[in-house]
């Protein structure tokens, strides 16, 4: 614009800038949570409602093959379902930032390019971690218990949070691909809901029609649910003897890696394409 080239700080802050800007973006997202309490409250209410509905309505009607408490069986499924909806939370957050114009502000600043997306996904993990705590407390209230060691309990929590991080990357891609918050909401609910029902969350997969069983067995949400049921010593009446039945923890980790490897580059690409 002008002839003189003005002195500007070096453009490459590298990893340090990526981390510090990522933390600033994370902090910004976290500060917003208590200021829009409706969002968190309804997310929690929805999950608690599921816990109560299934515990008290179906609790007696659905017998588990091989015995065991249906409530303990179900609750971990509800945990996994809630965590799967991380994709919706992230997608809605991103679309909202685009529509409010704040994403453009960020893009006009000399901040690390990665910070907006990393800040969003990391803060959503923290947010879902908070919701998980509330879910566990309400689970404890209706009779759920962990029957294994502290270490295995923590491993299960870690697995849930890792999975939430992976789902958030799907949300990044989705949020950058849809025009409005309403669409983001619709798309994520219509894709995640069937996935949570075609799983082992509510019923043991062997009760499904045989052609649906492989889908339900390999479904990442089923695998995650199996993994935490195993880790926490809660009922997991699984009759299959394939890989998903034998190595649910390993397969969950594989799913996490695959989802991130696919959706993070897609999301980043979408983000870059915003300037086209």
Partner 1 sequence: MKVYRSRSGEVRALDGLDLTVAEGTVLGLLGPNGAGKTTTVRVLTTLLRPDAGRATVAGYDVIEHAQQIRSVIGLSGQYAAVDENLTGRENLVMFGRLYQLPKAEARHRADELLDQFDLADAANRTVKTYSGGMRRRLDLASALSGRPRLLFLDEPTTGLDPRSRLAMWEVIRDWVREGTTLLLTTQYLEEADELADSIAVVDHGRIIARGTADELKSQVGGERIEVVVHDRDNIPRAIEVIGRDTDGECAVDDHTRRLTVPTSGGAQRLVQVVRDLDQAQIAIDDIGLRRPTLDDVFLSLTGHAAELAPADDDDKS
Q: Is the dihedral of CA 106, 115, 33, 135 positive or negative?
A: positive
Residue of the chain from 41, 46, 105, 141 that contacts partner 1 (CB under 8 A)? 105
Determine if 102 is a binding residue for partner 1 (CB under 8 A). yes
Determine if 109 is a binding residue for partner 1 (CB under 8 A). yes
Choose among 257, 265, 108: nearest CA to 172.
Answer: 265
Determine if 5 is a binding residue for partner 1 (CB under 8 A). yes
Determine if 16 is a binding residue for partner 1 (CB under 8 A). no
Q: Is residue 62 within 8 Å of residue 173, measured between CB atoms?
A: no
End-to-end CA separation in angstroms for the chain: 21
* 32-61 residues near partner 1, rule: CB under 8 A: 32, 35-36
Which of residues 33 and 198 has its CB atom nearest to partner 1 in the complex? 33
Half-sphere exposure of 102 (CA within 13 A, CB side): 10
Residue of the chain from 66, 110, 158, 242 that contacts partner 1 (CB under 8 A)? 110
Which of residues 148 and 177 has its CB atom nearest to partner 1 in the complex? 177
Choose among 169, 184, 201, 172: nearest CA to 82.
Answer: 201
Length of the chain: 276
Determine if 147 is a binding residue for partner 1 (CB under 8 A). no
Residue of the chain from 14, 60, 63, 101 that contacts partner 1 (CB under 8 A)? 101
User: How many residues belong to the site for partner 1 (CB under 8 A)?
Assistant: 35
CB of 103 vs partner 1, minimal distance in Å = 9
Structure tokens at 10: 């070096």
Residues of the shown chain interacting with partner 1 in the complex, contacts defined by CB under 8 A:
1-6, 8-9, 11-13, 17, 21, 24, 27-28, 31-32, 35-36, 100-102, 104-111, 115, 274-276
């Amino acid at each position: 614009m002008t002839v003189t080239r003005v002195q500007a700080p070096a453009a490459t802050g590298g990893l340090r800038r990526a981390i510090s800007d990522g933390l600033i973006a994370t902090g910004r997202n976290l500060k917003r949570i208590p200021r829009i309490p409706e969002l968190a409250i309804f997310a929690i209410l929805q999950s608690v409602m599921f816990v109560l509905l299934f515990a008290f309505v179906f609790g007696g009607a659905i017998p588990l093959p091989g015995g065991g408490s249906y409530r303990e069986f179900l609750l971990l499924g509800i945990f996994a379902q809630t965590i799967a909806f991380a994709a919706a939370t992230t997608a809605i957050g991103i679309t909202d930032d685009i529509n409010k114009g704040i994403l453009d502000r960020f893009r006009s600043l000399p901040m690390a390019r990665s910070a907006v997306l990393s800040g969003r996904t990391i803060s959503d993990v923290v947010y879902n971690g908070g919701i998980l705590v509330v879910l566990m407390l309400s689970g404890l209230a209706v009779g759920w218990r962990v029957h294994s060691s502290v270490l295995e309990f923590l491993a299960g929590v870690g697995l849930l949070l890792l999975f939430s991080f992976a789902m958030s990357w799907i949300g990044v891609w989705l949020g950058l691909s849809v025009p409005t918050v309403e669409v983001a909401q619709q798309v994520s609910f219509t894709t995640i809901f069937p996935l949570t029902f075609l799983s082992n969350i509510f019923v043991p997969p062997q009760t499904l029609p045989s052609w649906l069983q492989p889908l339900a067995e390999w479904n990442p949400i089923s695998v995650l649910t199996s993994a935490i049921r195993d880790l926490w010593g809660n009922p997991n009446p699984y009759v299959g003897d394939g890989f998903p039945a034998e190595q649910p923890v390993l397969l969950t980790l594989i799913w996490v890696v695959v989802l991130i490897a696919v959706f993070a580059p897609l999301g980043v690409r979408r983000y870059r394409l915003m300037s086209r």
